[in-house]
A and B are shown apart, each in its own frame.
Chain A
């Protein structure tokens, strides 16, 4: 089946440090989206980025479709960035979006 691998599984940073989250997938993606989830919360869409580079606030996502990978860069992390970040992709030819297992980020003051 389709695989989405996220790394690292967890990350601990000091406030102000940058974070780099990776997402690798096993087939060509027609949809690639990054989500954020607080413990017990719902999923919030951060960036929809099937190819190229997109920015919003302190977030930058770069997706290289040919290499089947995407990254999410968080600059100047804040304690409120703590939570789990999910990458989700849809393989070409289908609606079945596949989620990675997430990267748990903890930003300490």
Chain B
């Protein structure tokens, strides 16, 4: 077994601010993902990474940067926070690209 941790749990920022969300997994999984979930909606893929130092854009990558510093960690940066960005950001990992995904508890972003 393993666990995915996301920090912080709650993030409050000002409009225009650069904000960073972090994700760590101890499954030793190769692939990691960042999703955004707006209230009452499904998940949309922002970025994914198939191995350390790899980055691939999802459907919602504009306005975000990501960094896969090492196999176990994957960071997401909101480059300039906007009020319509308030959402829950979920990190996930999987052993390979076609294996079962596991999710972290999420970071709830509020932009003032």
Interface size on A, residues (CB 8 A): 24
**Contact flag A97-B105 (CB < 8 Å), given A43-B90, A86-B42:** no
Instruction: Please tell me which stretch of B18-26, B65-73, B78-86, B95-103 contacts chain A, meaning at least 4 of its Cβ atoms lie within 8 angstroms of it.
Output: B95-103
CA distance A43 to B41 in the complex (A): 13
- A42 within 8 Å of B (CB atoms): yes
Nearest A residue to B104 by beta-carbon distance? A42
CA distance A50 to B33 in the complex (A): 19
CA distance A48 to B99 in the complex (A): 8
- Number of cross-chain contacts by CB at 8 Å: 55
CA distance A31 to B95 in the complex (A): 13
CB interface residues, A 51-109, toward B, < 8 Å:
86, 88, 90, 94-102
CB-CB under 8 A from A96, the residues of chain B are 45, 48, 58-59
- A30 within 8 Å of B (CB atoms): yes
CB-CB under 8 A from A31, the residues of chain B are 98-100
CB-CB under 8 A from B109, the residues of chain A are none
- A45 within 8 Å of B (CB atoms): yes
- A24 within 8 Å of B (CB atoms): no
Interchain nearest-CB distance for B110 vs A (Å): 14
Complex partner residue of B103 from A45, A48, A102, CB under 8 angstroms: A45
CA distance A96 to B98 in the complex (A): 10
Nearest A residue to B101 by beta-carbon distance? A33
A1-42: CB near B (< 8 Å → 1, else 0) gives: 100000000000000000000000000001101010000011
Q: Are A86 and B43 in contact (CB under 8 A)?
A: yes
Q: Can you give 8 A-B contacts (C-beta < 8 A)? A: A43-B43, A45-B102, A45-B103, A86-B43, A97-B101, A99-B43, A100-B42, A101-B41
Query: Closest 7 interchain pairs by CB?
Result: A48-B100, A95-B97, A43-B103, A99-B42, A99-B43, A101-B42, A42-B105
